[in-house]
Each structure stands twice: as structure tokens, then as C-alpha cells.
Structure 1
Amino acid sequence: MIYTLTLNPAIDQLLFVKRDVKKRQANRIIRSEWDCGGKGLHVSGVLSQFSIKNEALGIVGSQNRAQLYGILSEKQIAHDFLVQQGERTRTSFVIISEESSGSIMMPESGFAISDANKIALLEQIRQKVTQEDMVVIAGSPPPEFTLADFETLLQTVKATGCFLACDLSGEYLRLAVKLGVDFLKPNEHEIQEILVEESATLTENMRELAKNIRYLVVSLGQHGSYCAHEGKVYRVIAPPVTEKSDTGAGDCFVGAFIAGISEHLPLPEILKRATGCSASKVMHADSSTFSLVEAEILKEQVTIIEVEEM
């Protein structure tokens, strides 16, 4: 089983406008749609599209859980959320222009998780997760979820002996590196937080970091990625596509990558598939849509080169 953990899930309200938003004028909304938000939920959505059994975990608010559950049902995302009474799962407002690429995201902060639910989450992990499973922890924690809380969470997951994948930033990313996880995906800016030696090249740093991280991917956005595994570093060049929105592209990559590992595919095939899925996502306006058909075509346009250090 693959479990995804989203500590601060969201309901995305997608607001489509004709042109880019401008101040001091009415920016009329053409239509509005709803989607699930939060990196872990996006990863679950990708896994479900690949027909890989998975379950989304996390904490949701009682006030609007029916709406979120309805969205998840449409996307065929199985879940077993803890519920915090009297709270509302945050809304993330996403403004999308139909005439230009990119989007504007305005997420709410979310609610603070109660001590009781923090304890319940740890117990849920101990009860559910086994050594044969995979756990994906993605996205930033909610307010008042401390670094100590997060360390306890990571240690609890690691104690099960499962494959642990993380998509984090800031101090949470640094903690994941310190504790050693099986998969990590910082972007080209986040990698600066965890460099081993600033005077060394990116790939030299990746080789060093990969001694404690089985799969280390550094995302370069539209330019592809680097991947370090078993002492080797690969440069992955993404196919050119027409960008509509890059929101969620990284989550799509992670979901497809984890799917490939669970299916025991060769690493080059995993990288091509994940890059193809991410490129497909960029071509769609919302936060989670991608096409398996498009991804299959795009993956054949991905170039992978093994990097040799000088």
C-alpha cells in the first residue's frame, strides 16, 4: 500500500478570468471550479490514475469535509482522514487567465492541529504502515505544527521500516536530509538550503547527499531535472510544451515517480514517465489535471544523460 500524508489539505477554488488580473478594474470571473489541494492529495490523484492502490491520510476540518470528500470521490482518491471538530479545511483561491500562462494562488493558512489529533495521527501510522508499504509526506505543515512535531512524525514513519518519500521545503527539508529518507525532491532554489559544500558543483553536492538519500531529484522546472541514485547522477531534459499552468507539476512528477518505484521499473523509465506526466500537467490550467495519453507521447521526447564529474 502507498499512503500519502497531507498535514494541511485544501479545497482549491479555481477562478477563471479572461485576461491577467489588473488593479483598479473589475476582473470578471468567467467560471469557477473546485479541486482538491495539497501536495499529498495531488500525489494520490496521480497514483489513482495509474490504478495503483493508495490511501490519503491527514487531518481535515468537520465543517466542510463533505465538500472535500465529494471532490476526492470524483477523483477516485481513497482516504482515511482524522477529523477536527469545529474547524474548516482551508480554501486555496487560484486565479487562472485563459489568455496567458501561469496562475495566481492565494491559499489560506489552515487550522492548528490539536494535540489529540497529533497523537492520533502517530497511532494511525503505527497501526497501518508496514515495512512493505510506501509513505509520501508532501507539503508544508499547518500553523503551530512545530519542527519537533514533524521530527516525531518522521521518526514514527521511519520506525515502520517503510519506504519514505518527502517533498518539503525550508527547515522541514533540512530535517528530512538529517534523518535520511528514501526519496527527496527539492527544486533548484530549495536545494540551496541543503548544500553540503557551497564551493562544489550541484552534481557533486547531489552525489554526497545521495549517500543517505536513495533517490534525490532536483527539479529545474521547464528545463527538467537532475536525479542522483546509487552513486550516479542523471540529467533529465524535459520536452518543450506550451505552458498553461505549472502549479501541481512537481506533485505530478512525484506521483508518477513513486508509481514507477512501486512497479519496480528501471530508473530511466521512471524518469521518462514522471517527466512526461509533469509536462502534460503544465499544459492544463488547473492544479491536478494531466493526461496519461499525452504523458505517454511526451515521455518519448525526454532525454536522459548520465553526468560525469570532471
Structure 2
Amino acid sequence: MLKSLLSTLVVALVSVNSFAVELKGHLTQGGLVTGKLSDAQSVSLNDTQLKLSENGDFVFGFGRDAKANHTLSWVDANGKKHTQELVITKRDYNIDKITGVAKKYVSPPKSVSERISREAVAVRKARAVNSDLTFFLDPVLKPAQGRISGVYGSQRYFNGEPRLPHFGLDIANKTGSPVYAPIGGTVVFAEPDLYYSGGTLILDHGHGITSTYIHLSKLDVNVGDKVKQGNKVAEIGATGRVTGPHLDWRFNWKGERLDPGLLMQDTLANKK
């Protein structure tokens, strides 16, 4: 699997050189790709216009079940339109079976449905931010020490009942273990007690890229705070729907769920 994913990175770098566009990243489901264009007026992926930085940087990503074929298009300084077809690889995902989850979390009572809906709207709003920050260009470091106990894309079964796929990378460690910002950003969401995810933190890294940290026992930052790579932002916990203490770490490009495991370098963020 690793060899296959590395090959998608190489293709992203070499397939469009003749069109004066630079791409770096993983052309695969769950992958994030950054790009650079000189003197472009605009750039789009399929029908979605991408934000361009002053230096011509942009970013996009592919969800867990993204289709294979995509079109990158841009308009140059002379008004001429260019297109580049992109083909991404399909991935196989793990199946996890978890028992011992309280029944109220597997099938929550109707009395909490309004709360769940309200919290979901708030999280979507936080992830809809589209700032001019460009921290997404920086290398992504490991946010916490611990054992990898869950991976992106896996289909989970709680007490034998199939649930939605898992969209994060789980890092298991004891409650109170520190969580560090893997790259710089601004806090756009910080709540200590959501029904499903418990203590929840969302950082904005620019151009629609956000990272999320859930099941936290403590939050050390507030909405509006600016954090640098390596800053302690929270502590691992066992809050919300969970069977044990761990960090569930997620990345989004707008509404697309990305794989933190493809981005993460194996260096703890505060040890850079």
C-alpha cells in the first residue's frame, strides 16, 4: 500500500510539467494536493474554483470515495484557458469491529437529536472557513505521541451494527497526554462537550483546509487564537462516543475528508 501511495505522489509531480503548473501531493482517495501557478487569473478543480495566494499557491483534496477522473483548469494572464486531466487511485479500507459501546451512543435517544443536529451545523460552519492563510504549504508533523489505533477510511461496526466510515487517524494514549498543533493555524472551533466527539477543536490552515481534534479531555486554546506549529493546544481524553482515551485527528478540504496518515511526517510537532 505504501509503495502504491508513493507512486501517486511521483505522478503528481511529473505529469503536468509541460503546462507550467506545479503539483505536489497524493493523487489518491483521501489525498491532499498543493499547486503553484505563475500569473494565473483563476484555477478550478472540476466545477469548484480554488483560492489563489499572492504567490500563485492553491490546494485541493479528494474524499474517501472520490471518483477516479478529475479536471484541473486555469486561465493564464493572457486569458487563455488550460486543462489537465487527473486520474487518482482507488484504495482498499480496513473493517473494524468494536464492542462495548454504550447503547445510547450506537442508537442515541430521540431526546438528544436536536442537540446532535445543532452541533453538526456548528462543526460544518467552522469547516466552511476559506481564509487566506497558507499554513497548508508547511510539512504536517505528528500531533501526539501514542499507538496508531485506528486509520482513515475504515468501516466500523459498533456492537455489530455498521456505522459511517472512519475519517480520522486515531492515536491512543492516556488521558491528559499533550496534543500539539501539527502546523500553524487559527482556532475556529473549541467546544468541551459535543455529544458524539466530546471535547472538539478545529484549526484553520487556509484555503479551506482545516484539521479537527476530538475526544479531548482539555482544550488549551479558544476561538480566535493563533497557534504555531508545535504549540500545545489540548490534551487527549475519552469524551464523547469512545471506548478508551485517544486522539481522533482529521483533515478536511472544505467538505472533503482527507487522510492525515498521508500527510503526517513521523516527527512529533513539538520536537521539530
Compute the TM-score of the two structures, normalised by the length of structure 2: 0.28
In proportion to residue count, which structure has more strand? 2
The TM-score normalised by the length of structure 1 is 0.25
